[in-house]
Amino acid sequence: MTLRKILTLTFLLFAAPFGFGQDLNYGEGEFTATFTIDAAHTTDGTNYSVAATGEAGDYGRVYLSYEFTDKLGMGTMGEFTGYAWTQNGEQIERATLQGVYRKNGTVFDMYSLDVVTNGLINIVSGQVDFVAKTMTFKVSPLQ
């Protein structure tokens, strides 16, 4: 194999994924959501359940529940699933929450993609402080 073929093959192997990748596009309508942790518990010392309430932009008062797991046994990071709902007047919206977390000093960073009954997929990133009992997120509809 000639040097030119080797260089071309090497370029294609490293550059092709970038050419065909999709960028996540944070849409208009970004807002900050702030929550207070109402309850947290564990039944096995590994998995944790959290319930929180707070304000989330046009959604108004939102009720959240999360189940944090560590399926790979890494100790400082893992995954979560959850559920959220809100009611504005007669309109009720629900969402499923799924993502990953990582311990970052005294707080936990969370990254989530959430499906909402209003047809949106929200991109969510934020921090959880279990000592202060707060959760703060940046939320944006995926475009």
pLDDT (0 to 100) of residue 130? 95
| pLDDT of 140 | 95
- Which residue segments constitute the domains of the chain, with CATH numbers given? 26-141 (2.40.350)
Greatest pairwise CA separation for the chain in angstroms: 70
For residue 94, give Cα distances in angstroms to 38, 49, 114, 123, 133.
19, 19, 10, 15, 23
Q: What pLDDT was estimated at residue 11?
A: 52
Tell me, what's the pLDDT at 28?
85
CA 63 – CA 56 distance, rounded (Å): 10
pTM of the model: 0.79
DSSP state of 111: E
Q: If we measure between CA atoms, which residue out of 111, 57, 58 comes closest to residue 80? A: 111
Q: Give the mean pLDDT per block of 10 residues along the chain (143 residues).
A: 58 51 70 97 91 95 96 95 94 97 96 96 96 97 88
- What's the chain's Rg over C-alpha atoms? 19
- What does the pLDDT read at residue 143? 81
Task: Determine the 3-state secondary structure of 29 from DSSP.
Answer: coil
Per DSSP, what are the bridge partners of residue 129?
Answer: 134
Contact 37, 134 (CB under 8 A): yes
**Nearest Cα to Cα of residue 102 among 84, 81, 126, 82:** 126
Closest among 52, 62, 125 to 88, alpha carbons compared: 62
Place of tokens 């959880």: 128
Look up residue 141 and give its two tokens.
């509809």
